[in-house]
C-alpha cells in the first residue's frame, strides 16, 4: 500500500552514500528542427540553448543529493576543461568529489545529445555523440583508487556501483570494494554493464559477493543464456544470478512490468508498477539504484525498497533526459495513488491502527479534513445509516472506531454482540459514507483518538459534549466536537429485544 511507502520516504533520513563508477558529463543542445538541410538529407537543428548535467555515476550522485543523501563520489576524469566543469557542478551540489581522480591519458567522458523540437514543441532526441575512452585503469591508478576508497567505504552507510564500462570498474577495484564493504557489514548495490551474448558464466563475475544488482530483462537474459519471456522466467533468472554471484538478493528490472526479486531467504516475488506516460527512459536505471540504496540504508527491507524504487523509476521516465526526482515529487505521487486506491477498494477500508495512522497522515497532508466516531454497530439500522451520513457530511474522511467483540460484551453483557466483529466491520465498510474502520479493545476509544487526532470528533446528540470521550483532547489542538442528531425510534438494544421476543413466540 502507498501509506507505508509514504512513511518510508518521510523517514529516509540523510544516509551517507558512496558512489563508485564512471563519471561523465551530459551535454544537451536544444533547438527547433525546422527543415531538411540543402547540403544533405538531414534535419537542420536551429540551436537556441545548451545545458550541461552530470551523467553516469555522477548522475547517480546528483539524484542522491536531490533525495537528501550525503553523497561521496569516486571515479576518474581527464586533465581537461570538461573535468573542470564536472568538478564545478559537483561542488555546487555539495557532493564530496575528493575521490574523483585524474587520468591524464584519457579525456573526460562526455555524452552530447541534440534535442529537436518539432514545430517549436515536442522535444525529442535526434543524435548522441560520445567522447570517451573505454580502456581499463592502469595498475597504478587502480592502487590509488583502492586507497581512496578504503577511507570512504568506512564512512558510508551503503555503497552504490554505477558501471558504464568506461574503465573505472575493473575487477580488481570492484573486488576490493565488495570485499571491504562485506567485512564491514555494509551493503553494495550494483547497476551492471550490459553483458555480451555468449558470456554465460563469466557475465557479471566481477560483481561476485555484492549484496544485490539490478540488471534489466535483456541483460539478465544474456547472463543466464535464455530469453526471459515471462515473469516466472525473470524470477528464475534473478534466483540463478543470486546463487551464482553469492548475493543477498537477485533483482531483475522489467521496465513497464516492474521488478522481480529472488532473496536469500527463499522469497521470490514480482513487484508490478503503475502504468506511466513514458517520455524518456534515460536515467531510470540510475534512479532505481539510488532509491534502493537510500531505502535499504534507512532500514527498509527489499520488498519496500523495490516498491519505492518502482515509483521513483516511473517518475523518472516521465522526464526529459536525466533529471533528479525529489522526495516531494515521490510523496505527491504516493498520496495521489493512495487517494485513488482508497476509492477503489471498499474492503480495504478495514485496517489496523498502525497502518491507519499512516494513511490518515498522508490524507491530512493532502488537505483532507478527518473525522472520527465510534460505536458497537451490532445490528446496523436506519438510525445508524443516517448518523454516519451526517457524520461524513462534516468532514472529507470519516474513520469509524469499532468496539471489538470483547469490548461489546463488557459494555452490553454476555449475550452481545449478535454479529461478530469481522461481520460488523464488513457491513460498515460497505457504506459509501465510511472511509475507514478500525477495531479497538480498550474500554474507551481515547487511545485511538490520540493516535488519529481527528479534526472533528463526532458523537450522537444523546450525549452532552462534556460526556464525549476525547472531547477535551480534540479541542486542545483546535479540533471540534459535533453532536449528530439521532433518528427517532431506532435502537439496537430495542431491536435485539424485539427479535428475541419474536423468537420466543415462534417457539411457543
Q: How far is CA 477 from CA 373, 444, 453, 467, 473, in A?
A: 18, 20, 9, 19, 7
- Do 180 and 200 belong to one domain? yes
Q: Pick out the chain residues at pLDDT < 70.
A: 1-2, 120, 198, 200-201, 275-283, 317-323, 338-347, 488-508
Q: How far apart are CA 270 and CA 258, in angstroms?
A: 8
Q: How far apart are CA 164 and CA 57, in angstroms?
A: 8
- In the listed set 305, 327, 343, which residue is the last one of a domain according to the structure? 343
- In the listed set 343, 378, 413, which residue is the last one of a domain according to the structure? 343
Positive/negative CA dihedral, 361, 363, 366, 367 = negative
Q: What is the pLDDT of residue 137?
A: 95
100 close to 73: Cβ distance less than 8 angstroms = yes
Q: How many CB atoms lie within 10 A of CB 137?
A: 22
Mark whether 32 is an active-site residue: no
Q: Is 127 helix (H, G, I), strand (E, B) or coil?
A: strand
- Do 332 and 371 belong to one domain? no
Angle (nearest 5°) at CA 316 between 328 and 264: 95
In a domain, 128, yes or no: no
- Do 350 and 310 belong to one domain? no
In a domain, 353, yes or no: yes
- Do 299 and 205 belong to one domain? yes
The tally of domains found in the chain comes to: 2
CATH for 476: 3.40.50.620
Catalytic hit among 286, 378, 405, 455: 286
In a domain, 222, yes or no: yes
In a domain, 126, yes or no: no
- Do 235 and 288 belong to one domain? yes
Q: What is the pLDDT of residue 360?
A: 87
Q: What is the pLDDT of residue 50?
A: 92
> In the structure grid, which three cell numbers stand for residue 362, read together?
498522508
> In the structure grid, which three cell numbers stand for residue 350, read together?
478495514
- Do 164 and 298 belong to one domain? yes
In terms of Cβ atoms closer than 10 Å to its own Cβ (0-12, 13-18, 19+), residue 474 is buried
- Do 302 and 405 belong to one domain? no
- State phi, psi for 226 to the nearest 5 degrees: -155, 160
DSSP state of 350: B
Q: How many residues does the chain have?
A: 508
pTM of the model: 0.71
Q: What is the pLDDT of residue 237?
A: 95
- In the listed set 328, 343, 358, which residue is the last one of a domain according to the structure? 343
Q: List the domain range (segments joined by +) for residue 414.
A: 346-507
Q: How far apart are CA 8 and CA 119, in angstroms?
A: 43
- Do 81 and 175 belong to one domain? yes
Q: What is the pLDDT of residue 401?
A: 95
Angle (nearest 5°) at CA 393 between 389 and 468: 80
Q: What is the pLDDT of residue 280?
A: 44
- Do 183 and 240 belong to one domain? yes
Q: What is the pLDDT of residue 165?
A: 92
- Do 369 and 335 belong to one domain? no
Q: How far is CA 60 from CA 77, 113, 158, 230, in A?
A: 16, 19, 13, 30
Q: What is the pLDDT of residue 61?
A: 96
- Do 304 and 365 belong to one domain? no
Question: In 3D, which of 262, 322, 239, 263 has the Cα closest to residue 288?
Answer: 322
Q: Is 469 helix (H, G, I), strand (E, B) or coil?
A: coil
Amino acid at each position: 500500500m502507498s501509506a507505508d511507502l509514504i512513511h518510508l520516504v518521510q523517514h529516509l533520513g540523510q544516509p551517507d552514500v558512496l558512489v563508485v563508477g564512471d563519471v561523465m558529463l551530459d551535454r544537451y543542445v536544444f533547438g527547433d528542427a525546422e527543415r531538411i538541410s540543402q547540403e544533405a538529407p538531414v534535419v537542420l537543428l536551429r540551436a537556441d540553448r545548451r545545458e550541461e548535467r552530470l551523467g553516469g555515476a555522477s548522475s547517480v550522485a546528483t539524484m542522491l543529493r536531490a533525495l537528501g543523501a550525503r553523497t561521496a563520489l569516486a571515479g576518474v576524469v581527464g586533465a581537461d576543461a570538461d573535468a573542470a566543469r564536472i568538478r564545478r557542478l559537483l561542488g555546487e551540489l555539495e557532493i564530496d568529489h575528493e575521490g574523483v581522480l585524474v587520468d591524464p591519458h584519457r579525456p573526460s567522458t562526455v555524452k552530447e545529445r541534440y534535442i529537436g523540437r518539432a514545430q517549436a514543441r515536442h522535444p525529442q532526441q535526434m543524435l548522441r555523440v560520445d567522447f570517451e575512452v573505454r580502456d581499463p585503469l592502469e595498475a597504478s591508478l587502480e592502487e590509488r583508487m583502492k586507497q581512496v576508497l578504503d577511507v570512504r567505504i568506512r564512512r558510508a552507510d551503503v555503497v552504490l556501483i554505477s558501471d558504464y564500462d568506461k574503465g573505472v570498474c575493473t575487477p580488481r577495484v570492484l573486488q576490493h570494494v565488495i570485499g571491504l564493504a562485506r567485512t564491514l557489514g555494509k551493503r553494495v548495490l550494483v547497476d551492471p554493464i550490459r553483458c555480451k551474448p555468449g558470456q554465460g558464466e563469466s557475465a557479471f563475475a566481477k560483481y561476485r559477493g555484492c549484496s544485490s544488482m539490478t540488471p534489466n530483462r535483456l541483460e539478465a537474459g544474456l547472463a543466464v543464456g535464455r530469453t526471459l519471456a515471462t515473469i516466472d522466467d525473470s524470477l528464475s533468472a534473478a534466483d540463478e544470478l543470486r546463487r551464482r554471484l553469492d548475493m543477498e538478493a537477485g533483482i531483475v528490472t522489467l521496465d513497464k512490468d516492474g521488478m522481480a526479486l529472488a532473496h536469500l531467504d527463499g522469497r521470490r516475488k514480482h513487484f508490478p508498477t503503475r502504468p506511466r506516460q513514458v517520455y524518456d527512459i534515460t536515467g531510470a536505471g540510475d534512479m532505481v539504484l539510488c532509491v534502493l540504496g537510500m531505502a535499504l540504508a534507512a532500514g527498509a527491507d527489499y520488498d519496500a525498497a523495490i516498491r519505492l524504487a518502482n515509483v521513483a523509476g516511473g517518475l523518472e521516465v516521465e522526464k526529459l533526459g536525466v533529471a533528479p526526482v525529489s522526495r516531494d515529487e515521490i510523496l505527491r505521487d504516493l498520496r495521489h495513488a493512495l487517494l485513488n486506491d482508497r476509492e477503489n477498494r471498499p474492503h480495504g477500508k478495514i485496517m489496523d491502527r498502525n497502518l491507519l495512522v499512516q494513511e490518515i497522515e498522508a490524507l491530512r497532508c493532502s488537505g483532507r479534513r478527518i473525522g472520527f466516531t465510534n460505536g458497537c454497530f451490532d445490528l446496523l439500522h436506519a438510525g445508524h445509516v443516517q448518523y454516519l451520513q451526517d457524520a461524513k457530511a462534516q468532514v472529507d474522511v470519516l474513520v469509524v472506531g469499532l468496539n471489538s467483540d470483547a469490548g461489546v460484551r463488557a459494555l452490553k453483557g454476555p449475550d452481545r454482540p449478535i454479529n461478530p466483529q469481522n461481520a460488523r466491520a464488513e457491513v460498515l465498510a460497505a457504506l459509501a459514507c465510511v472511509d475507514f474502520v478500525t477495531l479497538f479493545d480498550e474500554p474507551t476509544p481515547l487511545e485511538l483518538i490520540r493516535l488519529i487526532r481527528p479534526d472533528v470528533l463526532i458523537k450522537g446528540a444523546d450525549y452532552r459534549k462534556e460526556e464525549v470521550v476525547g472531547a477535551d483532547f480534540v479541542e486542545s489542538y483546535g479540533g471540534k466536537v459535533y453532536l449528530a442528531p439521532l433518528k427517532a425510534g431506532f435502537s439496537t438494544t430495542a431491536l435485539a429485544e424485539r427479535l428475541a421476543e419474536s423468537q420466543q413466540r415462534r417457539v411457543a
